[in-house]
Amino acid sequence: MKRKLAAGNWKMNGSRAALAEFDAMQPGVTDSVEMVICPPATLVATAVEKAGALGIGGQTCHVKASGAHTGDISAAMLKDAGASYVITGHSERRTDHGESNADVAAQSTAAWEAGLVAIICVGETLEERESGATLNVIAEQLAGSIPDAATAANTVVAYEPVWAIGTGKVPTLEQIAEVHDDMRAKLSDRFGTEIADGMRLLYGGSVKAGNAAEIFAVPNVDGALVGGASLKAADFLPIAETLGAA
Ligand code: PGA
């Protein structure tokens, strides 16, 4: 049985004081549900100390383990700080930092080499959705962003429509099902059924306690990548509990 995953992406939010939220998140972690918080890099080491049953992850990593790359953080450094996960290819990184599929693949390989699980993100823009290109865009991102050495243990895939992130807009359940079914099929074609079935596929984009139950009931949705609603235990815990009940 694969454990479901509620992953929180704090983005450029949070402070040491905010880590106090972790205490009230603890009950969400069960035999069937894993919870991970990805705070800003400055907080990773302290977050690990306060994590309890939560897993801690970074939000991106450099492709190299060390070197002359001012301002960057390597996967090895995240690992050294106690992280077990790292998000790669979030749309805000793709947009703000021009990261390509090839960059995301190299980061994911770096993550694995450091012993981290990569949460590899894909998602279409509104323009791509409206022009009917969604499945092609996702297929291209999956092909380009996930390296050949992916396994169910080292990789989580997050489908995050760019237009649903932080907007309060959510695709229809049929749209989520269509993409998740297609992702599972594409992963199966490439990696075989055993790896593809074991790989957790998260939905992300405006997930809240109020819409979590219907999203988690969609086939091939194994959890969520949550932004805004992961900052407070009062919002994130009900999402994890809903996942446990799904
Ligand atoms: P959101 O962000 O839940 O605030 O929409 C999701 C994400 O970017 O991972």
Which tens digit of pLDDT belongs to each residue from 144-153? 999 999 999 9
Name the 3-class secondary structure at 31: coil
What distance in Å separates the CA atoms of residue 93 and residue 60, rounded to the nearest whole number?
A: 8
**Residue 12 CB partners (closer than 8 Å, separation 6+):** 40
Instruction: Examine the pLDDT at 75 and tell me if it is beyond 90.
Output: yes
Q: Would you call 97 a catalytic residue per the annotation? A: no
Maximum pairwise Cα distance, the chain: 47
Cα separation values, 185 from 5, 173, 193, 206, Å: 20, 18, 8, 25
Q: Residue 84: pLDDT band by 50, 70, 90 thresholds?
A: very high
Reported as a single tens digit per residue, the pLDDT across 97-124 is 999 999 999 999 999 999 999 999 999 9
Ligand 1 contacts (CB < 6 A) are 9, 160, 165-166, 204-207, 225-229
Reported as a single tens digit per residue, the pLDDT across 170-217 is 999 999 999 999 999 999 999 999 999 999 999 999 999 999 999 999
Instruction: Examine the pLDDT at 1 and tell me if it is beyond 90.
Output: no
What distance in Å separates the CA atoms of residue 238 and residue 33, rounded to the nearest whole number?
A: 12
Q: Which atom of ligand 1 is nearest to the CA of 158?
A: 9
Name the DSSP class of 143.
H
Active-site option among 62, 128, 160, 180: 160
Q: Would you call 90 a catalytic residue per the annotation? A: yes
What distance in Å separates the CA atoms of residue 139 and residue 146, rounded to the nearest whole number?
A: 11
Q: Which atom of ligand 1 is nearest to the CA of 205?
A: 5
Q: What are phi and psi of 88, to 5 degrees?
A: -125, 145
Strand intervals (E) in 63-131: 85-88, 117-122
CA Rg value for the chain = 16
Active-site option among 90, 92, 124, 128: 90
Reported as a single tens digit per residue, the pLDDT across 21-70 is 999 999 999 999 999 999 999 999 999 999 999 999 999 999 999 999 99
Name the DSSP class of 3.
P
